[in-house]
Amino acid sequence: MAQALELEVAGRTVRLSSPDKVFFPERGFTKLDLARYYIAVGPGILRALRERPTTLERYPDGIEGEWFFQKRAPKGMPDWIPTAHITFPSGRSADEMCPTEEAAVVWAAQYGTLTFHPWPVRAGDVDHPDELRIDLDPQPGTDYTDAVRAAHELRAVLDEFGGLRGWPKTSGGRGLHVFVPIEPRWTFTQVRRAAIAVGRELERRMPEQVTIKWWKEERGARIFVDYNQTARDRTIASAYSVRPRPEATVSAPLRWTEVDSARPRDFDLATMPARFAELGDVHADMDDHAHSLDALLELARRDEHDHGLGDLPYPPEYPKMPGEPKRVQPSRARKDPAP
């Protein structure tokens, strides 16, 4: 292994050990390539992470080695990287890394962090999200093109219900994410309810192409609107995060005019720096906006009052939530004897 390097990152010096360790064997990208990538897109990923509690997805030996999610701030983290205290659904709590400088991202890359998973809250108020995040997840038999069709209809839904504006990005895989900046005055439960309302409206408009069914056996070859990604402690990869895929793709912010022509494989650890140098952060203005969820929450109220459409299942690791339906997959439920 080559000797450690010292990298200058926006006024900070960050030590990088084993810079020639290969993280992506298929492409030959090393830890140094990863660090240089995050330096190149530093202002963009800091915009996505700034003051947000952030879970680190770490691959210390590259994508073919063991990996883990690190929620608690790593031991030995420099004192210039602040933390935020967050509470999990279990009632347990932790202090999570809360980046405020570009150097914090490179420091995390030194420890094998590929993907950053920020909470949709800021350190000053960790109980009220300031982003509504919509995850358009292609199911078997569908692909990115199908997600694009759903994204365009989603854009229309957001505009119709409150004049909301979403900022799209590739997931780094086959899907699309659309983030909507919101006023931080609703709880996680309320924001999740708004996401469910969005998903149901999309499902009504595109019943053969979109589903909000939680159980995989019911989804079919449709785009799944993963409403549970808005539940507390569920996070989505940040813009500019590198994904643990052989191609070293990244989650790429897009303009709406690019969504149709873009392909997830177009954006990777090698190509994104050039795009960023040319265009900058195409989501740079997102934090200048803060929308209201009132119209979507009214839609959710009407769904429940007029159509009997209440809550949907939470993820399996969550405690039973008030108003949640029976958390059992339909094929098993049908086998249960009648009371």
- Domain chopping of the chain, boundaries: 5-122, 131-234+289-307
Same CATH topology for 5-122 and 131-234+289-307?
yes
Cα–Cα distance, 102 to 106 (Å, whole number):
7
Quick check: 194 and 161 in contact, CB under 8 A? no
* Model confidence pLDDT, tens digit, residues 173-227: 999 999 999 999 999 999 999 999 999 999 999 999 999 999 999 999 999 999 9
Non-local (6+) Cβ contacts of 113 within 8 A are 56, 57, 58, 59, 70
Check residue 330 and give its pLDDT.
86
Given a cut of 90, whether residue 329 has pLDDT beyond it is: no
- Residues 132-151 have a mean pLDDT of 98
Q: Residue 339 pLDDT > 70, yes or no? A: no
Report the percentage of the chain scoring pLDDT > 90.
93
**Tens digit of each residue's pLDDT (9 = 90 or more) over 260-308:** 999 999 999 999 999 999 999 999 999 999 999 999 999 999 999 999 9
pLDDT mean over 225-249: 97
Q: Does domain 131-234+289-307 have CATH number 3.90.920.10?
A: yes
Second CATH level (architecture) for the domain 5-122: Alpha-Beta Complex (3.90)
DSSP-assigned beta bridge partners for residue 97: 54, 83
pLDDT digits (tens, 9 = 90+) for 5-51: 999 999 999 999 999 999 999 999 999 999 999 999 999 999 999 99
Q: How far apart are CA 70 and CA 235, in angstroms?
A: 13
